[in-house]
Structures are given as structure tokens and as C-alpha cells.
């Protein structure tokens, strides 16, 4: 069984910064791609950023230049550094990781979500 524990969410003023973390644990053989999604009230979940196991990244146009995704493979952890935050960034942020467990085929696993609120 895989556990994905998110942290770092909270309340921040417009223009502020926040850093989200998502740490995977369990009988992990390999963590492949890791991604951040977000979902605002009344809206569908959308991809914010992704990173491959070799470090290639991609971002939604709405966050490009403001957010940075990174990973620490030794810690099975993905980060999302969020700068110049805007009220429209307010959402629940979820991490998604494709993980191969010992003795199991690869599969997708979701974190529990962490609330980010950008408001003055």
C-alpha cells in the first residue's frame, strides 16, 4: 500500500508564496511521473504541473513562470513552489504519482489534497 502525504497548504495574500510537498511511502520500487492537480469549487480538476523521473517538466499556461515543480528521488517527494500567487489559484491541490511497488504492476496514486487560499 502506498501513502501520499501532502503538506504546505494554507492562507496567503495575493503576491505571496507557498511551497507544497507530497511524500510517497510504502514498499516502493520506483516512482515514475509525479504531478500536481488542483480543483476549485464548481470546477473540474485540472493539471497544474508535471515532472518525469528524468526531470522533464510541463506546466499549465496559467501558472507558467510563477510555479516550479521539482522532485527529490531519494525522498520520493515532489514539490510545488508557488510564487506571485493570485486569487484564481485558490483550490484544493492534489498530487498524483505513478508508482511501481515491489511485486506489483505500476499504478496511479493520489494524495489527500491540501487547501490553498489566496485572499487579502
pLDDT digits (tens, 9 = 90+) for 1-40: 899 999 999 999 999 999 999 999 999 999 999 999 999 9
pLDDT higher than 90, residue 98 = yes
- Positive/negative CA dihedral, 73, 74, 76, 81: negative
Cell of 95: 498530487
- Work out the average pLDDT over 103-115: 95
In whole angstroms, what is the distance from residue 18 CA to residue 119 CA? 13
Residue of 53, 77, 81, 50 lying closest to 68 (CA atoms):
81
Cell of 21: 510537498
Instruction: Measure the CA dihedral 44/49/54/56, to 10°.
Output: 120
pLDDT higher than 90, residue 87 = yes
Band (pLDDT 50/70/90 cuts) for residue 109 is very high
Counting residues of the chain whose pLDDT is more than 70, the rounded percentage is: 100
- Work out the average pLDDT over 69-93: 97
Which pLDDT does position 1 carry in this prediction? 81
- Work out the average pLDDT over 80-104: 97
Amino acid at each position: 500500500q502506498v501513502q501520499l502525504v501532502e503538506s504546505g497548504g494554507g492562507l496567503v495574500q495575493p503576491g505571496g508564496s507557498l511551497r507544497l510537498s507530497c511524500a510517497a511511502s510504502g514498499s516502493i520500487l520506483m516512482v515514475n511521473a509525479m504531478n500536481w492537480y488542483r480543483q476549485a469549487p464548481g470546477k473540474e480538476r485540472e493539471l497544474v504541473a508535471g515532472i518525469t523521473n528524468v526531470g522533464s517538466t510541463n506546466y499549465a499556461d496559467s501558472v507558467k513562470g510563477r510555479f516550479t515543480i521539482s522532485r527529490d528521488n531519494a525522498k520520493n517527494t515532489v514539490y510545488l513552489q508557488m510564487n506571485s500567487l493570485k486569487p484564481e489559484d485558490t483550490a484544493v491541490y492534489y498530487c498524483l504519482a505513478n508508482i511501481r511497488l515491489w511485486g506489483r504492476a505500476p499504478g496511479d496514486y493520489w494524495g489527500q489534497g491540501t487547501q490553498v487560499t489566496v485572499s487579502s
